[in-house]
Structure 1
Amino acid sequence: MTRPPTAAQRRIIDAAEPVTGRLRGTEAQLAALVRRGLAFRHPRPPHDHFLTPAGHRVRETAEAPEALPEAPAPAPAPASVPAGVFAARVGGEEAAVNGPARAREVHSAWQGLLELRRMTNPGGATDRPCAWERAHLVRAAALALEAAGHRPEPAPTPGAGSAEGGYRVRATPQPEAVAVREPDAEALRACAATLEGAGWQVGEHMEPRTRRRYLLASPRRS
C-alpha cells in the first residue's frame, strides 16, 4: 500500500497552482514528490515541477467535490468551494463576486489550462482537452465558458424557484459527457460554439419531459 505524503509534502501539493499543478519547493522536496509519483519534472527549461494525475488526486481529497451525476432533470446548486481555491463557475453558486479581480482569475486559469494542454497533450496540441480536463469534465467545460465571457446562472432567489438566465454545467450518467443548459436558445447556441472552439464535441438534445433543449459536450481526443 502506498504511504500517504508527509505533512510537508501535503503542504506543497495543496499550494500547487490550481489548474496547471505547478509546484514550488526545494529541490529535495520536489525530488521526493517525483520519486513517489506525485510530481514530474518538465523536460524543457526552466524545468519546473508539476503534479502528476496521482498528485492531483491527493490534492483534491481536501477540495469540495464536483456536482453529483444527474439525469436530465435540474440538479441542486453545486457545493461551495473552500476559500482560496479557484473554481470555474458551473452555475447556481451563491455569493458569487464579479469584477476585474474575478476576470483576471478566470483569464489566468484559462491560460494555465492551455499551458497544461501544451505540456501534456501529444505534440503539445492546445486545440483539444487534456487528461486533466477529461478527469474534471464539469470544471473544465465551465472554465471554457466562463473564460469566453458567458454568464453563469445565478443562485436561485429564495421563494422564487429556479434562477433565470445564464449557463449551467452538470455531470451526466454518460461517460465523458456533461450537460450544459441555458434558457435562452441563442445563448445556448453560443455556448455550443465556444465549447466546440475549445476542443469539445457538442450535440444539442431535447428533454422529453420538459421539451427544453440542452447540450451534451465531450472532450475531443483528436
Structure 2
Amino acid sequence: MAKPTTAGQRRIIAGADPVTGRLRGTEAQLAALVRLRLAFRHPRPPHAYFLTPAGHRVREEPVEAVPETAPVEVPSGVFTPRTGTEQEPPGEDGPARAREVRSAWLGIVEMRRMTNPGGDRTIPCAWERTHRVRAVAIALEAAGRVPAGPGREGYRVVDTAQPDAVEVGEASAEGTRACGAVLERAGWLVSEHGDARTGRRYVLVSPRRA
C-alpha cells in the first residue's frame, strides 16, 4: 500500500501546472514525491519535476482542509485499464472512475511530451509501444468508448502474434469503426479487417511513428 502524503505534499501536487504537471518546491520536497512515485525528475536540463500518472490521480481527488501534521491517505491500488476481456464484472462507472481514466490519459500525453523527440504529443511514446493493450484501452475509455463485460457489449482489446499490433473490435462493424477512428485521433495506425468465416469486423492497431 502506498505511503500517506502530508498536507504540504498535497498542496505541492495541487499547485502543479494544470497542463504539463510541472511541480515547484524545494529539492527535498520534490525528492520525497519521487520516492512516493507521484513525481519524476526529467533527465534533461533543467531537470524539472513533473507529476506521474499516480500524481495526477492524487491531484484529482477532493481534499479537505487538514492540519499540516495530519497525514492524507493516498488512494490504494493501481489503476487498471479495462480491455473488455475481463471475466469479472467491471467496477462502478461513476465520477471516480472517470477521474482515474482522465488522469491516466493525461499522464500518457505528458509522457509523450517528455519522452518523444521534440515533445511530440501526437504519436505514442515508448511506454505505449511496450504496453500496447493497456495504452489502447486507456485511449478508448478516455474517449468515452465502453469496454465489453459480462452481459454488456463494448470494445475488446487483445494482443496478436504480430510484434507491433493489437486487435480491437466490437460486436457491430459500426462500433469497431468508431473505435478505429478514436485510435487514429490518438496517434495510432489503424487498418480494418474481416473474418471470412464469421463475418466479424476488427481493426489492427499499431503505434504510428514520426
Interval of TM-score (by shorter of Structure 1 and Structure 2): 0.5 to 0.7
Counterpart of 1:132?
127
Counterpart of 2:95?
100
CA contact (8 A) 1:42 1:48 kept: no
Aligned to 2:167, what secondary structure does the other structure show? Answer: strand
- In the TM superposition, residue 207 of structure 1 has moved relative to its aligned partner by 1.8
- In the TM superposition, residue 206 of structure 1 has moved relative to its aligned partner by 1.0
- In the TM superposition, residue 100 of structure 1 has moved relative to its aligned partner by 0.6
Counterpart of 2:175?
187
Q: 1:50 to 1:99 in 2, by over 3 A?
A: closer
- In the TM superposition, residue 121 of structure 1 has moved relative to its aligned partner by 0.3
Aligned to 1:202, what secondary structure does the other structure show? Answer: strand
State the Cα deviation string for residues 113-158 of structure 1 (Å, max 9, x = none).
101000000000000000000000000000110000000001x3xx
Q: Does 1:220 align with 2:208?
A: yes
Q: 1:196 to 1:49 in 2, by over 3 A?
A: closer
What is the rounded CA distance, in whole Å, between the counterparts of 2:84 and 2:198 in structure 1? Answer: 20
Q: Which of 194, 198, 206 lines up with 1:210 in the alignment?
A: 198
Identify unmatched segments of 5+ residues in structure 2: 4-21, 35-39, 53-75
What is the rounded CA distance, in whole Å, between the counterparts of 1:41 and 1:213 in structure 2? Answer: 42
Q: Which of 120, 132, 136 lines up with 2:115 in the alignment?
A: 120
Counterpart of 1:3?
none
187-196 or 207-216, larger mean C-alpha shift:
207-216
What amino acid sits opposite 1:43 in the alignment?
A: R
What is the rounded CA distance, in whole Å, between the counterparts of 1:188 and 1:131 in structure 2? Answer: 26
State the Cα deviation string for residues 44-95 of structure 1 (Å, max 9, x = none).
66712789xxxxxxxxxxxxxxxxxxxxxxxxxxxxxxx6110211003324
CA contact (8 A) 2:169 2:175 kept: no
What is the rounded CA distance, in whole Å, between the counterparts of 1:49 and 1:150 in structure 2? Answer: 29
Identify unmatched segments of 5+ residues in structure 1: 1-10, 12-21, 34-38, 52-82, 157-162
Aligned to 2:136, what secondary structure does the other structure show? Answer: helix
Q: Which of 143, 147, 150 lines up with 2:142 in the alignment?
A: 147
Q: 1:215 to 1:119 in 2, by over 3 A?
A: same
Relative to the length of structure 1, the TM-score reads 0.63
Counterpart of 1:74?
none
What is the rounded CA distance, in whole Å, between the counterparts of 1:102 and 1:171 in structure 2? Answer: 24
CA contact (8 A) 1:169 1:180 kept: yes
Relative to the length of structure 2, the TM-score reads 0.66
Q: What is the number of residues matched between the two proteins?
A: 163
Q: 1:219 to 1:181 in 2, by over 3 A?
A: same
93-102 or 129-138, larger mean C-alpha shift:
93-102
What is the rounded CA distance, in whole Å, between the counterparts of 1:41 and 1:198 in structure 2? Answer: 24
Report % sequence identity.
Answer: 55
Q: How does 1:1-222 map to 2 (within 5 A)?
A: 41-43=42-44, 47-48=48-49, 84-93=77-86, 94-96=88-90, 97-154=92-149, 156=150, 163-222=151-210
- In the TM superposition, residue 214 of structure 1 has moved relative to its aligned partner by 0.5
Q: How much is the aligned-residue C-alpha RMSD, in angstroms?
A: 3.5
Q: 1:187 to 1:99 in 2, by over 3 A?
A: same
